[in-house]
Structure 1
């Protein structure tokens, strides 16, 4: 195993779209892949918003075991890019105000689906993952190894979002964690990676201040 530190974690914050592979009911036993947007939750797991009528949703109700693939290949060369395959089970989660608010920061267009009333949130309970970051940089990890630190609470993250709102023109903070920040810069999604993990809110706030200054310049 030769995986750069936290590379799979950052990839899950970089990619906006993933491939969900469920177990087909008809024809039974076949993998059923579908492409859909996702947002990382505070534990970096994919959160998806799916229609109750969708085939993959019916599949998950019958068998919640699934695979999920996220890829970052900005130059179009998939084999030289980063990708991570997650294995685990998807579980429906309550659409609390915090869950809805966080997802809509990453995917604001999804609000039109929420008003329809038949869309539900699901999050992945991660068992194992395989990361490939190019030649010689690949390996397996147990799900618990993705992040050994406690996640930020919703109220902590929301306080940081509010503090840095309007901090710099064209820069919007979508989410923050102990390892980096998810931004939208002039409409383009970006991940800012911290030099090291921020173990307290004071250090995290200082890292975000540095992040905003760098992008503003």
Structure 2
């Protein structure tokens, strides 16, 4: 497989999932990895942002050794070895107080987490990438350097918020049509469908209690291209 195509598939996997297995170096059992499921979203550079309680084992482990990995699995089909999976090796770095945009993006994807952060001891970390390992199925294996993998989000926080507000307030039926046409999902009238994020390669809808990823046919670089892509998708006949 062409390395550029493989990298794009690997990046789409990271974009399409919102949970992974975070592995840290155990303090309780030195020398052994400690892994558990952790939600994540991506910042403007495409790097993973995670939120951890100061009571969690991961928090204590990261404080002692920031070297971590996040493993993401495609999660489709009966044969797990044939599915795509990505191991994201990184240094966990605490967010600065000034990095509010990354926090707000996380809250948009995981609204209940705002209360945790404000009333309990939860802390944000950015996973600063070191190297990535992608397995696209049997025999499709490769290491990927960060500078070959990540694509910055072309939208500022304000631009993304503007798109989300516009789509959620003025184009609710279009959001439902995306689900019907591209995912064959019918949503009841009383069920909410919300666009929670957009980037240069696609967007995410929250519907029927789950996050659903939609990919653009080509990379979009600005607000006008986003509008054109969203309008075109609403007119696609399936």
TM-score band (shorter)? 0.7 to 0.9
Query: Are residue 144 (structure 1) and residue 147 (structure 2) matched?
Result: yes
Q: Is the 8 A contact 1:181 1:208 kept in 2?
A: no
Structure 2: segments with no counterpart, 5+ residues: 174-191
Q: Is the 8 A contact 2:154 2:222 kept in 1?
A: no
Instruction: Tell me what 2:172 maps to.
Output: 168
In structure 1, distance between residues paired with 2:233 and 2:92: 33
Instruction: Tell me what 1:192 maps to.
Output: 214
Instruction: Count residues in correspondence.
Output: 216
User: Of the two, which has the highest radius of gyration?
Assistant: 2
Alpha-carbon shift at residue 37 of structure 1 (Å): 1.2
Q: Is the 8 A contact 2:68 2:89 kept in 1?
A: yes
Alpha-carbon shift at residue 151 of structure 1 (Å): 4.1
- What value does the CA root-mean-square deviation take over the aligned residues? 2.3
> Of residues 180, 203, 206 in structure 2, which corresponds to 1:181?
203
Alpha-carbon shift at residue 5 of structure 1 (Å): 4.9
Matches within 5 A, 1:29-44: 29-44=31-46
Q: Is the 8 A contact 2:24 2:58 kept in 1?
A: yes
Deviates more, 1:206-215 or 1:153-162: 206-215
Instruction: Tell me what 1:113 maps to.
Output: 116
Q: Is the 8 A contact 2:155 2:222 kept in 1?
A: no
> Of residues 212, 217, 229 in structure 2, which corresponds to 1:207?
229
**Bigger relative contact order, structure 1 or 2, given CA contacts below 8 A and separation 6+?**
1
Alpha-carbon shift at residue 214 of structure 1 (Å): 5.7
Q: Is the 8 A contact 2:44 2:102 kept in 1?
A: no
In structure 1, distance between residues paired with 2:125 and 2:233: 31
User: Whose strand proportion is higher, 1 or 2?
Assistant: 1
User: Whose helix proportion is higher, 1 or 2?
Assistant: 2
Deviations 1:159-199 (A, max 9, x none): 21122123124432111111111122343311111111112
Relative to the length of structure 1, the TM-score reads 0.88
Alpha-carbon shift at residue 44 of structure 1 (Å): 2.2
In structure 1, distance between residues paired with 2:151 and 2:42: 16
Q: Is the 8 A contact 1:161 1:174 kept in 2?
A: yes
Deviates more, 1:50-59 or 1:25-34: 25-34
Structure 1: segments with no counterpart, 5+ residues: none
Instruction: Tell me what 2:179 maps to.
Output: none
Instruction: Tell me what 1:99 maps to.
Output: 102
